[in-house]
Chain A
Amino acid sequence: MSEPLIEVAGLTKRFRVSAGGSGTTGGSRTLRALVARRKVVTALDEVSFRIGAGELVGYIGPNGAGKSTTVKILSGILVPDAGRCVVAGRVPWRERVAHVATIGVVFGQRSQLWWDLPVIESFDLLRDIYRLQPAAYRETRDELIELLAIAPLLAVPVRQLSLGQRMRCELAAALLHRPRLLFLDEPTIGLDAVAKLAVRDIIRRLQGRGVTTILTTHDLDDVEALCPRVLVIGAGSILFDGSVADLRAGVDRERILTVDLEHEVGSFATSSATVVSAAGRRVVLRYDPTRIPTPRIIEEVARDNDVRDLYIEPQPIDELVARLYRNLELEEA
Chain B
Amino acid sequence: MTLALRLAPYRGVLRARWRETLQYRLAALAGFGTQCYWGLLRLMILAAFYQSGPADATDFSFAHAVPYVWLGQALLSLFPFRLDADLADSVRTGSVASELLRPIDLYSYWFWRMAAWRLAQAAPRCLLMVVVAAVILPLVGLDEWALTGPAGGAAAGMYLLATALALLLGVAVTAVLISLMFWTVSSEGARYILPAIVWFGGGLVIPLPLLPDGLAAVLGYLPFAGLMDIPFRIYVGHLAGAEALARLALQVGWLVLLVLLGRLLLARGLRRVVILGG
In-complex A–B contact (CB below 8 Å): yes
Q: Say which residue of B19, B24, B26 sits within 8 Å of A30 (CB atoms).
A: B26
Residues of chain B within 8 A (CB-CB) of A35 are 19, 22-23
Chain B residues 5 to 29 lying within 8 A of chain A, measured CB to CB, are: 19-20, 22-24, 26-27
- A293 beta carbon closer than 8 Å to chain B: no
Distance to closest chain B CB from A30 (angstroms): 7
Residues of chain B within 8 A (CB-CB) of A26 are 23-24
**A28 and B20: CB pair below 8 A?**
no
**A31 and B22: CB pair below 8 A?**
yes
A-B interface contact total, Cβ < 8 Å: 21
- A27 beta carbon closer than 8 Å to chain B: yes
Interface string of A25-63 (1 = CB under 8 A from B): 111101110010000000000000000000000000000
Interface string of A90-118 (1 = CB under 8 A from B): 00000000000000000000000000000
- Most chain-A Cβ atoms within 10 A of its Cβ — which of B19, B20, B22, B23? B23
Q: What's the dominant secondary structure at chain B's contact region?
A: helix
A30 to B29 CA separation, bound complex (whole angstroms): 13
Give the contact-size bracket for chain B: under 10
Distance to closest chain A CB from B12 (angstroms): 13
Distance to closest chain B CB from A45 (angstroms): 31
A299 to B141 CA separation, bound complex (whole angstroms): 98
A218 to B20 CA separation, bound complex (whole angstroms): 33
**A27 nearest CB neighbor, chain B only:** B23
Chain B residues 174 to 195 lying within 8 A of chain A, measured CB to CB, are: none
A200 to B30 CA separation, bound complex (whole angstroms): 49
Residues of chain A within 8 A (CB-CB) of B24 are 25-27
Residues of chain A within 8 A (CB-CB) of B27 are 28
**B30 nearest CB neighbor, chain A only:** A28
**A28 nearest CB neighbor, chain B only:** B26
- Most chain-A Cβ atoms within 10 A of its Cβ — which of B20, B24, B26? B26
Distance to closest chain A CB from B95 (angstroms): 20
A26 to B24 CA separation, bound complex (whole angstroms): 7
Binding site for B on A (CB under 8 A): 25-28, 30-32, 35
Binding site for A on B (CB under 8 A): 19-20, 22-24, 26-27
Q: Can you list 21 A-B pairs, Cβ within 8 angstroms, ordered by A?
A: A25-B20, A25-B23, A25-B24, A26-B23, A26-B24, A27-B20, A27-B22, A27-B23, A27-B24, A27-B26, A28-B23, A28-B26, A28-B27, A30-B26, A31-B22, A31-B23, A31-B26, A32-B23, A35-B19, A35-B22, A35-B23
Which 4 residue pairs across A and B have the least CB separation, nearest first? A27-B23, A28-B26, A31-B26, A25-B23
| Known A28-B27, A31-B23, A35-B22; further 11 A-B contacts with Cβ < 8 A | A25-B20, A25-B23, A26-B24, A27-B22, A27-B23, A27-B24, A28-B23, A28-B26, A30-B26, A32-B23, A35-B19
